[in-house]
Chain A
């Protein structure tokens, strides 16, 4: 039985702009999950937001028909729409921390919605809230009621969001990338919960995602979106097993795979740390109280040989990025750091470190904050040259920048443009160019692709492999994505709570993980593939 029906929906921002959503038709059926898949900017979220008319006022929404339980919702006035939002249509957003009001307790967040839509009394609302928290499997619902969002973990917050969406017995649930901001082991729990609620309550679920693994495992139906149009739709199994459209095939092929380049067998040790520690002083209670330390990195030993890639995996908060900053000597640390034959940890101050800075460089995660928005691409890339090769004439510097841009696969004439004109993938290429212009031998990559779409990720990965093979670069590759790490690294370190749980050759660890935690990480990342082996 179809719950929500959308026929030929088009959305434009401004009359002279091309449509962001172009003639999209979707049907949500009770008790089934439809996955809307596509890359960022393909119009998935706009489609979802237009159902509840949550778009900014300059957006113009047009459709032939939009019905909820055979009732027209396209021409509803604003106050009737408000009854729909959070009432018959529940919505779960990507980032639960910004979707919850930080000043309200869990109880108040949910009660508010109950009071508005059902006019429940305080007591009745409290009962219903408890029931909901039970339903989303939050531990100790009684104590949860009084907590504030910042006191919950990411997964718990998302469960509260789901409880909130379910509060008024919706018939349709829209989940917009509900697990993107969460750790892998938590993701599976949330998706399992959504699936369970879908079958128990007979919900029609619209799941927006870019992760085909998730789709294969959870969704009955799939609709693939590309540049505002639905290019392919059908039952998940059929579409994934035998994709008809070129773009769907392209998406499927973009899942990370392949092998890292074979390194030189006679390779010397390039980077080594021994008992590396980074600690932060925690708030002291009283002037004379003893200092309490929080160990973000707690005694990590790592060895990286020239031309190899060392993968560092772990969930958020495990100390991966802190480790990177410590190795780069951007954070104070204890313990030995040895680059080639020199101990970096004994060098003090910018002046002593500067010669070594040219030999190790870094690429950060967020393509939006990694480039100074007020500088042109050329200025950004040549900055390193200005520091280390001060006497290089202007013309040669320009030449070097142009060469570097071609090397990372960008046209050389884009150096006069500003970062905001580039996409996420292009920005990461620029960041790589900035890091490589000094010809470093060691590159530290801190989640360089996690903010990118799969197919763009694939290209960046190819670029990194290609650069490694050509220049015998050594990489420290930090990521939470095990598929990605497997595709690029020779050695692997699994981190948790600042400690290295397990380390060794990548394939050995994947084949026979020694630690339970490693096993659960691998399970969470690869379980989806086993179900639909045909697809990949």
Chain B
């Protein structure tokens, strides 16, 4: 129903007519889909192997080494030449394109780590001998997921607060605005640094802490939109019908505010990714060992003699941010009423 909506149709057509934004959306979706399946692309476990005419899927199931005639009851280390040999004697192994996970240390390096790009490690390794490409792939996933969840959660809160302020106006609005003014003048970065010394900052903690301060972006926009819509005739008509306030806000006013929200979403996403990278870069972000673009940038700074670290991190970061900006611009054009309402 929603998609046959004429307004949406026109907006979608305008969006598509912005070629750069349209292709950016495709490219971003493909990259995102790929990194969601990062385990199938970069992993130190085989995708599938055949041993004694039986198929095994090590990526999805844990098999002890004894399954393949080994000695230990722990999970098989498939990179171990001994295990490899055991399996290949009576079967075959299919490896992912990149046979390293983000935390796999390549012990076969012929040079001290960080090792430069080679046939084994396409973008080289970092200073602990871990494959850079695998880490970028996983890091991209964490960054984008973090950004998406943060952007969605802060939009939901921001819209709800803005909607209530705009719809009721008066004292509700006044109190809300003053609170936001105070809350938004807190030094966020320091607060995060202080808070991360109280708790061990994992993914969810970071998300929660950031959410405390990022929900305010949309409040003003949504509030202004609701203040405007409050006096539209169809909103008045709905009030005259006795429709309850939450229903009016959701059904009649929110679609108008969605325009502002959707336009801002890519930019909020960008902001979230950059903040996470910053925190990782200065060492207050995700726990040590997690794949992250900020940590890779930090390594690039510490190892200037290994330029592949810095360059890889820079290019991948620049790519995500540019794609999101291009998408954001196209979305903004699509929702610009001057373009679709003639």
Residues of A within 8 A of B (CB): 56, 325, 328, 330, 350, 353-354, 357-358, 360-362, 364-366, 369-376, 380, 383-384, 387-388, 418, 420-421, 431, 434-435, 438
B237 and A362 contacting across the interface, CB-CB below 8 Å: yes
Nearest chain A CB to B16's CB is how many angstroms away?
20
- Docked complex Cα distance between A366 and B6 (Å): 21
**A384-B242, A388-B241 known, 10 other contacts, Cβ within 8 Å:** A350-B244, A362-B240, A370-B233, A372-B252, A372-B255, A373-B7, A374-B255, A387-B243, A387-B244, A435-B237
Of A325, A358, A370, A418, which contacts B6 at CB under 8 A?
Answer: A418
- Docked complex Cα distance between A26 and B6 (Å): 39
A438 and B237 contacting across the interface, CB-CB below 8 Å: no
Nearest chain A CB to B11's CB is how many angstroms away?
11
Residues of B within 8 A of A (CB): 1, 5-7, 232-234, 236-245, 251-252, 255, 342
B239 and A330 contacting across the interface, CB-CB below 8 Å: yes
B245 and A350 contacting across the interface, CB-CB below 8 Å: yes
CB-defined contacts of A354 to chain B, threshold 8 Å:
242
- Docked complex Cα distance between A377 and B43 (Å): 55
CB-defined contacts of B342 to chain A, threshold 8 Å:
56
Chain B CB within 10 Å — which of A360, A369, A418 has the most?
A369
A357 and B234 contacting across the interface, CB-CB below 8 Å: no
Q: Name 25 A/B residue pairs within 8 A (Cβ), A-sorted.
A: A328-B240, A330-B240, A350-B242, A353-B242, A357-B240, A357-B241, A360-B240, A361-B240, A361-B241, A366-B233, A369-B232, A369-B233, A371-B234, A372-B234, A372-B252, A372-B255, A374-B7, A380-B234, A384-B241, A387-B241, A387-B242, A388-B242, A418-B6, A421-B6, A434-B237
CB-defined contacts of A328 to chain B, threshold 8 Å:
240
Closest to A367 in B: B233
A370 and B240 contacting across the interface, CB-CB below 8 Å: no
CB-defined contacts of B243 to chain A, threshold 8 Å:
383, 387
CB-defined contacts of B245 to chain A, threshold 8 Å:
350
CB-defined contacts of B232 to chain A, threshold 8 Å:
369
CB-defined contacts of A361 to chain B, threshold 8 Å:
240-241
CB-defined contacts of A358 to chain B, threshold 8 Å:
242
- Docked complex Cα distance between A434 and B233 (Å): 13
Chain B CB within 10 Å — which of A350, A372, A380 has the most?
A372
- Docked complex Cα distance between A380 and B7 (Å): 16
CB-defined contacts of B234 to chain A, threshold 8 Å:
369-372, 380
Closest to B240 in A: A362
Of B7, B233, B241, which contacts A383 at CB under 8 A?
Answer: B241
- Docked complex Cα distance between A372 and B252 (Å): 7
* Top 7 A-B residue pairs of the complex, sorted by shortest distance between their CB atoms: A357-B242, A364-B233, A354-B242, A370-B233, A384-B241, A372-B234, A369-B233
**Given that A364-B237, A372-B252 are contacting pairs, would A418 and B5 also be in contact in the complex, using a CB cutoff of 8 Å?**
yes
Of A387, A418, A431, which contacts B237 at CB under 8 A?
Answer: A431
- Docked complex Cα distance between A421 and B9 (Å): 14
Chain A CB within 10 Å — which of B5, B240, B242 has the most?
B240
- Docked complex Cα distance between A384 and B242 (Å): 8
CB-defined contacts of B255 to chain A, threshold 8 Å:
372, 374
- Docked complex Cα distance between A251 and B234 (Å): 31
CB-defined contacts of B251 to chain A, threshold 8 Å:
372, 375
CB-defined contacts of A350 to chain B, threshold 8 Å:
242, 244-245
Nearest chain A CB to B253's CB is how many angstroms away?
10
A362 and B244 contacting across the interface, CB-CB below 8 Å: no
Closest to A366 in B: B233
CB-defined contacts of A373 to chain B, threshold 8 Å:
7
- Docked complex Cα distance between A438 and B7 (Å): 29
CB-defined contacts of B6 to chain A, threshold 8 Å:
418, 420-421
Nearest chain A CB to B141's CB is how many angstroms away?
35
- Docked complex Cα distance between A373 and B233 (Å): 12
Closest to B231 in A: A369
- Docked complex Cα distance between A404 and B233 (Å): 21
Closest to A420 in B: B6
- Docked complex Cα distance between A360 and B240 (Å): 8
Closest to A354 in B: B242
Closest to A369 in B: B233
CB-defined contacts of A56 to chain B, threshold 8 Å:
342
- Docked complex Cα distance between A431 and B237 (Å): 9
Of A364, A374, A380, A384, which contacts B5 at CB under 8 A?
Answer: A374
- Docked complex Cα distance between A354 and B5 (Å): 31
